[in-house]
Structure 1
Amino acid sequence: MNLNRIFVSILTLFIVGIIGYCSRKKNILSEEAVNSLPKFLLNICSPLLIVSSMQIPFTQDKLDDIKTVFLLSIIVYFISIIISLIVPKLLRANGDNERGVYQFMTIFSNVSFIGFPVLLSIYSSEAIFYGSIFIIPFNILLYTVGIYMMASEKKKFNIKILLNPNILAVIIGFLLFAFSIQIPAFLLQPMELVGNMTTPLSMIFIGGSLCGVNMKEMFKEWRLYAISAIRLLILPLIVLLLFQNFISDPLLLGVPVVITGMPIAANCAIVAKEYGGHAELASSGTFMSTLLSMVTIPLLVLIISNI
């Protein structure tokens, strides 16, 4: 287990957010430049990341484990959605704008940038394979249920949202995976390059969005600490207690627990901005949970390692 690698991964994400904040503060990035990032991320970077991350060799030996991981994923996200209906009431959300953001925060965690490095530090590269299977429902829900939550007040939900580039990317990526179709290197490499821009650009956007937020007031907001505790500790412990008596393989048990215990997804602020949600609240929550995860993730790793 490499706790140093885990800490560096989280700290890197946090520093990139600070760079975005300082760049906007010094007007190196204009308000227009920051506000244009969500459309680029949602329509170009994120779909390419989804397709390229699903370029995994398919073998018959892994089929049973794949079914198990996928079933666990469905159960975890179902539980998360149920809990997300309660959280806004507990946190006294003001209106649909805040309600949708708190629901989104409850369901979606930062998988790729923090979750995968944590899995790699505890297990082996095989954990990344199962992690990629586990987040298939994540990608589908993020751009359907997630968008619906954010758009519930300012934009009327439209069935066309289901045909957004990210859902199409999930479909394409899964078909390529299922039929073992490999994208040629001369196409895959630029796809991966642009797709990997998703996380740093998301954090730059989050940092830039925080420029207009009163930082002192943000750290005084009890609800941000509460949603971070739900996201980082309560949900993964629920998953651990629920599955530990049924799943004997430490790897298959660890994947859903680790992914569930990651900080709020960077996509939260991106989707909120693009679909009329409370972008400042989304950015603040992502920033706060990422900061607190420097303490909670090593704790979670220790708990998993001692099972």
Structure 2
Amino acid sequence: MALFGAQSLPYILVYYMANTTFFWTIGVYLIQMDGDANSKFDWKKTIGKILSPPLLGFIIGVILVLLRIKLPSFLMSDFQYVGNLTIPLSMMFIGISMANVNLAKFDLSASNWGILLGRFIISPSLMALLVIPTGMPILMKQVFIMQAAMPVMTNAPIVARKYGADADYASLMVTETTIISLIVLPILMVIVQQIH
């Protein structure tokens, strides 16, 4: 939202819904297979994770808009205050996560390069190939391509630890992709703005 403004929020939430669903189903399953293959995949918990507070808020918001229900102004102002905290709190969380990672382990080994190339080149390129030929609004195309190049999800180390996978490596990749995104995302933003 910081890149495209408030008008991009519906597109961000559409991408978020798809990304969250894939992460908490296929992603968790693959992390579990990489870690303790004997642990049981719990569909009830997975559905609970998919129905996260942001997604539930989005669904409730859509229902309110479709039913043309207006909330009282005091509630709207409270929600706006909470909404304005999103970016600062996200930055604090990312900073704390990065502070907890041992940067001495920061390296660009072959496996790390694979993740970095996949995250910052292959993923946005595939998304561009999928969305550019469509009749989607230009802003939606731009948002989807940028979202595809975002750093590794901060949930990855938590899930990796839960299922006995390499949580330290997952934390390292969150940190590496977050740091490198400070260089890559502005360049990609310039490229994406050329889409007409």
TM-score, scaled relative to structure 2: 0.75
The structural deviation recorded for 1:168 is 5.2
Deviations 1:233-283 (A, max 9, x none): 121112213322223632122111111122222222232233432111111
Q: Report the secondary structure of 1:146's partner residue.
A: helix
Deviations 1:18-44 (A, max 9, x none): xxxxxxxxxxxxxxxxxxxxxxxxxxx
Looking at structure 2, the residues matched to 265 and 236 of structure 1 have their Cα atoms a distance apart, in angstroms, of 15
**Is 2:48 the partner of 1:139?**
no
The structural deviation recorded for 1:232 is 0.8
Asked whether the equivalents of residues 144 and 161 of structure 1 are also in contact (C-alpha less than 8 Å), the reply is no
Matches for 1:63-74 after TM superposition, within 5 Å: none
Query: Counterpart of 1:238?
Result: 126
1:179 to 63, 72, 75: 63
Deviations 1:205-243 (A, max 9, x none): 3431x23x743xx31422212211111112111221332
Looking at structure 2, the residues matched to 140 and 163 of structure 1 have their Cα atoms a distance apart, in angstroms, of 9
Label 1:259 to 1:244 Cα distance change in 2 as closer, same or farther (>3 A): same
Asked whether the equivalents of residues 272 and 279 of structure 1 are also in contact (C-alpha less than 8 Å), the reply is yes
Looking at structure 1, the residues matched to 27 and 86 of structure 2 have their Cα atoms a distance apart, in angstroms, of 20
Label 1:144 to 1:190 Cα distance change in 2 as closer, same or farther (>3 A): farther
Specify the code of the residue in structure 2 equivalent to 1:172: L
Matches for 1:202-241 after TM superposition, within 5 Å: 202-208=94-100, 210-211=101-102, 214-215=104-105, 218-241=106-129
Unaligned runs of 5+ residues in structure 2 are none
Label 1:162 to 1:265 Cα distance change in 2 as closer, same or farther (>3 A): closer
Asked whether the equivalents of residues 11 and 144 of structure 2 are also in contact (C-alpha less than 8 Å), the reply is no
Asked whether the equivalents of residues 24 and 49 of structure 2 are also in contact (C-alpha less than 8 Å), the reply is no
Label 1:206 to 1:158 Cα distance change in 2 as closer, same or farther (>3 A): farther
Instruction: Choose between structure 1 and 2 for higher RCO, CA contacts under 8 A separated by at least 6 residues.
Output: 1
Query: Counterpart of 1:279?
Result: 167
Looking at structure 1, the residues matched to 156 and 145 of structure 2 have their Cα atoms a distance apart, in angstroms, of 20
Label 1:227 to 1:195 Cα distance change in 2 as closer, same or farther (>3 A): same
**Is 2:155 the partner of 1:267?**
yes
Specify the code of the residue in structure 2 equivalent to 1:287: T
Asked whether the equivalents of residues 199 and 266 of structure 1 are also in contact (C-alpha less than 8 Å), the reply is no
Specify the code of the residue in structure 1 equivalent to 2:167: A
Q: Report the secondary structure of 2:3's partner residue.
A: helix
2:2 to 113, 117, 122: 117
Looking at structure 2, the residues matched to 237 and 294 of structure 1 have their Cα atoms a distance apart, in angstroms, of 19
Deviates more, 1:144-153 or 1:230-239: 144-153
Specify the code of the residue in structure 2 equivalent to 1:118: L
Unaligned runs of 5+ residues in structure 1 are 1-115
Looking at structure 2, the residues matched to 203 and 148 of structure 1 have their Cα atoms a distance apart, in angstroms, of 28
Asked whether the equivalents of residues 206 and 269 of structure 1 are also in contact (C-alpha less than 8 Å), the reply is no
Query: Counterpart of 1:164?
Result: 48
Query: Counterpart of 1:57?
Result: none
Specify the code of the residue in structure 2 equivalent to 1:117: A
Aligned length: 184
Specify the code of the residue in structure 1 equivalent to 2:3: V
The structural deviation recorded for 1:198 is 5.3
Deviations 1:275-305 (A, max 9, x none): 4321111111111112222222122122222
Label 1:163 to 1:254 Cα distance change in 2 as closer, same or farther (>3 A): closer
Specify the code of the residue in structure 2 equivalent to 1:225: W
TM-score, scaled relative to structure 1: 0.51
Q: Report the secondary structure of 1:296's partner residue.
A: helix
